[in-house]
Structure 1
Amino acid sequence: MRDVKCLFVEYLRETVIDAEGNVVSFDLKKVKKALEAGSKAEEVALKTALKALVDLGLLGAVPGKKPRYDLRRGSPLWTVLELGCIDLVTILADGHIKHERR
């Protein structure tokens, strides 16, 4: 299985770099399609990474039947992604996921 969390963070970085406005919005379906995450395990890993970033307050969540996520310019996550600290975001998400399991 591919490391979906790292691919997801790289996707976020590319999205931030290419952003034209102050807010980047996406949903799980859009991310799955971009990452070509076909297997159930990859989808679960992606959902877990999204939940971890939301729980840490780094990513905004708009609740609903099909939840959307937003990332705002000037937020800590946006700044870290602009600076290219992809590993830091991955480590934070992984650490939160492992802490939740305990």
Structure 2
Amino acid sequence: MAFAGVLQDADITAALNACKDEGKFDHKSFFKTCGMAGKSADDLKKAFGIIDQDQSGFIEEEELKLFLQNFKAGARALSDAETKAFLKAGDSDGDGKIGVDEFAAMVKA
């Protein structure tokens, strides 16, 4: 698992179970439940690097759609509505993608 050593397996499972049904994903609740909200800036940078699968320095919409799969293989993809809401929550400068500082601010919000 990509987040082994950073997050607890039980916390990840609880966070994924809370949003397993379409329309139930809430980024604030997810970050709190999985334990990411309490992590250091360095840990958040590591998490960003995992989620930024193409290593572009940004998390784009397609990477957000597959966000849950970073935590567990086989987890569902986010719906288009969930993905757009997630992007809107994190994209503070309006450029259509989430940078590392935007990601950290979103996790800590």
TM-score scaled by structure 1? 0.38
In terms of fraction of residues, the more helix-rich structure is: 1
- Which structure has more relative contact order (CA 8 Å, sep 6+)? It is 1
Q: TM-score, normalised by structure 2?
A: 0.36
Task: Identify, as 1 or 2, the structure richer in strand.
Answer: 1
